[in-house]
């Protein structure tokens, strides 16, 4: 089978969707299929020599839902001869579009494709003015989707509000073996302190500011604790560093960007993993990574996270933005090692169901079903 994965997001700034398409593609390739990728690139860069990546479009930063996405905006892509010629030349069996109604790149590929078209919807937000405003335009392309996947119930609820139809939920996957195989902890943090780990961008919607406020209370009650922050640098980090200095808060360590190879080491350094996001999360990949490493979770009770965490079974759920309750949950886990171990053990069992081997198998079964329908 010949498959193309299409993403609207910048190759040079890897995020959740791009990580998803390359991990999925790798496992589909392992099944014996030919997989290529179409996505934009912000800096001139030679595609890999094996020719499986096709760069189309120059992305620009776009502020959306408390985050920054990098995607092309030029309407010329909707009439791109290159997209048309590429699809005609390659003759893919499956064109798998991620955020298929995010113009102009994915919508252009959908417009010109005569293959079996599948759209995966990753996002979840309270509302989308873009979908509401452009719905009459998008509705002319929606019927070209032979199949629709949502990565969670939260993502399904969001997209079906604007484009009702039949959706199949197939979750994101994780590289289970990479995170479930014990890694060497970071030595400088192995001094007997209880390590609380945060992994993610320091954007407002990720809720780190609430975690920092909660940690002030936790540190006061439990001096033998440390907060380790893994995430790319930026102006938000400087703001939080100033707050740490202003409150004379000890043992807050901003690690910065961590390579994919080193990330499991930080999970195995942690005693507790905390994800205090305030909303607009359709899934919880970082939760599953921590769970695969047998770490107990404290997470916000938001749709994308509550779909992964079973309350008091493999993690503790707290109301978003509730500093007092967040501090109480962290304090409970800091003081109760047995509870940490119990939650971590249950979490590891759950994470096994999200391995990429299993998820890619479900995606392939979906492809085959839609191809058979097309043949009929």
Helical (H) or strand (E) element with 315: strand 315-318
Q: 100-127, pLDDT tens digit by residue?
A: 999 899 999 999 999 999 999 999 888 8
Same domain, 92 and 111: yes
User: Domain count of the chain?
Assistant: 2
* Domain shared by 91 and 196, yes or no: no
- Residue written as tokens 């930026």? 234
Q: What is the largest CA-CA distance in the chain?
A: 69
The bridge status of strand 252-256 relative to strand 2-6 is unpaired
Nearest to 156 by CA among 12, 241, 282: 282
Give the three-class secondary structure for 173. coil
pLDDT in tens, 178-201: 999 999 999 999 999 999 999 998
Residues 133 and 68 in one domain: yes
CA separation for the pair 331, 309 (Å, rounded):
19
Same domain? For 37 and 184 the reply is no
Tell how strand 67-71 and strand 60-64 pair up: antiparallel
The answer on pLDDT for 65 being more than 80 is no
pLDDT at position 85 over 70: yes
- Decide: 182 and 268 in contact? Cβ < 8 Å: yes
Domain span including residue 232: 176-354
CA dist., res. 370 & res. 376, Å (int)? 10
Same domain membership, residue 165 and residue 51: yes
Pick from 180, 199, 173, 232: which is nearest to 17 by CA? 173
d(CA 322, CA 299): 11
- Shared domain for 350 and 362, answered yes or no, is no
- pLDDT for residue 67 is more than 80: no
Q: What is the per-residue pLDDT for 14?
A: 77
What is the strand order of the sheet 168-169 is part of?
Answer: 53-55, 34-39, 2-6, 94-98, 116-121, 147-150, 168-169
CATH number of the domain bearing residue 236: 3.40.50.2000
Cα–Cα distances in Å, from 342 out to 3, 292, 315? 42, 13, 10
Backbone angles phi and psi of 4, in degrees to 5:
-125, 135
Same domain, 198 and 320: yes
Do 202 and 223 lie in one domain? The reply is yes
CA 292 to chain CA centroid, nearest Å: 16
Question: What is the sign, positive or negative, of the torsion defined by CA atoms of 266, 270, 272, 278?
Answer: negative
Question: Averaging pLDDT over each range in 47-56, 198-207, 276-285, 336-345, which range is the top one?
Answer: 336-345
Lowest average pLDDT, out of 12-16, 121-125, 249-253, goes to: 12-16
The mean per-residue pLDDT over the stretch 351-359 comes to 97
- Would the pLDDT of 47 be above 70? no
Q: Which of 171, 349, 183 is nearest to 259 (CA)?
A: 183
Q: How confident is the model at residue 45, as a pLDDT?
A: 65
Clarify whether residues 266 and 283 are in a common domain: yes
* Statement to judge: residues 19 and 143 lie in one domain: yes
Q: What is the pLDDT of residue 50?
A: 73
pLDDT at 130 > cutoff 90: no
Whether residues 197 and 135 share a domain: the answer is no
Is 40 within 8 Å of 58 (Cβ atoms)?
yes
b/e sequence 107-145, b meaning 16+ C-beta within 10 Å? bbbbbbbebbbbbbbbbbbeebeebeeeeeebeebbebb
Q: What is the mean pLDDT of residues 169-173?
A: 97
What gap in Å lies between CA 253 and CA 264, rounded to an integer? 17
Residue 265 DSSP code: H
Closest CA to 250 of 216, 284, 221: 216
Q: Could you give the residue ranges of the DSSP H alpha helices within the chain?
A: 16-30, 81-90, 105-112, 129-138, 153-160, 176-180, 208-221, 235-246, 263-269, 285-292, 303-306, 323-335, 337-351, 356-375
Does 156 share its domain with 78? yes
Joined together, the tokens standing for residue 102 give: 């995010």
**b/e per residue 259-280 (b: at least 16 CB within 10 A):** eeeebbbbbbbbbbbbbbbbbb
Mean pLDDT value across residues 322-330: 98
| pLDDT more than 90, % of the chain | 81
pTM score, whole prediction: 0.91
Distances (CA, A) of 345 to 128, 153, 265, 349: 38, 25, 18, 7
- Hunting for tokens 């769970």 — which residue is that? 291
Joined together, the tokens standing for residue 155 give: 């993502």
**pLDDT at residue 64 greater than cutoff 70:** no
């Amino acid at each position: 089978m010949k498959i193309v994965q299409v993403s609207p997001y910048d190759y040079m700034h890897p995020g959740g969707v791009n990580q998803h398409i390359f991990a999925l593609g790798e496992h589909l390739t392992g099944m014996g299929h030919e997989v290529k990728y179409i996505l934009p690139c912000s800096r001139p860069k030679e595609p890999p020599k094996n020719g499986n990546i096709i760069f189309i479009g120059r992305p620009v930063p776009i502020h959306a839902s408390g985050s920054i996405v990098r995607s092309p905006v030029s309407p010329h892509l909707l009439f791109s001869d290159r997209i048309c010629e590429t699809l005609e030349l390659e003759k893919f069996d499956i064109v798998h579009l991620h955020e298929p109604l995010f113009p102009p790149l994915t919508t252009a590929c959908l417009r010109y494709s005569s293959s079996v078209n599948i759209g995966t919807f990753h996002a979840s937000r309270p509302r989308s003015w873009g979908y509401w405003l452009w719905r009459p335009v998008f509705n002319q392309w929606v019927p070209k989707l032979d199949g629709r996947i949502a990565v969670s119930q939260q993502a399904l609820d969001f997209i079906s509000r604007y484009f009702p139809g039949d959706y199949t939920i197939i979750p994101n996957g994780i590289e289970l073996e990479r995170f479930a195989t014990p890694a060497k902890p970071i030595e400088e943090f192995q001094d007997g302190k209880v390590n609380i780990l945060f992994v993610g961008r320091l954007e407002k919607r990720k809720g780190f500011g609430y975690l920092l406020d909660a940690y002030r209370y936790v540190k006061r009650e439990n001096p033998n604790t440390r907060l380790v922050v893994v995430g790319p640098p930026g102006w938000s980090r400087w703001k939080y560093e100033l707050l740490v200095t202003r409150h004379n808060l000890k043992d807050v360590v901003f690690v910065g960007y961590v390579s994919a190879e080193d990330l499991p080491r930080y999970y195995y350094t942690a005693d507790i993993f905390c994800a205090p996001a305030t909303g607009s999360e359709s899934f919880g990949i970082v939760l599953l990574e921590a769970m695969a490493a047998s770490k107990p979770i404290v997470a916000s009770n938001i749709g994308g996270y509550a779909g992964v965490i079973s309350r008091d079974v493999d993690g503790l759920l707290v109301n978003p933005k509730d500093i007092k309750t967040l501090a109480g949950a962290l304090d409970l886990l800091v003081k109760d090692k047995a509870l940490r171990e119990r939650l971590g053990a249950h979490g590891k069992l759950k994470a096994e169901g999200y391995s990429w081997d299993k998820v890619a198998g479900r995606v392939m079964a979906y492809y085959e079903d839609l191809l058979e329908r097309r043949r009929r």
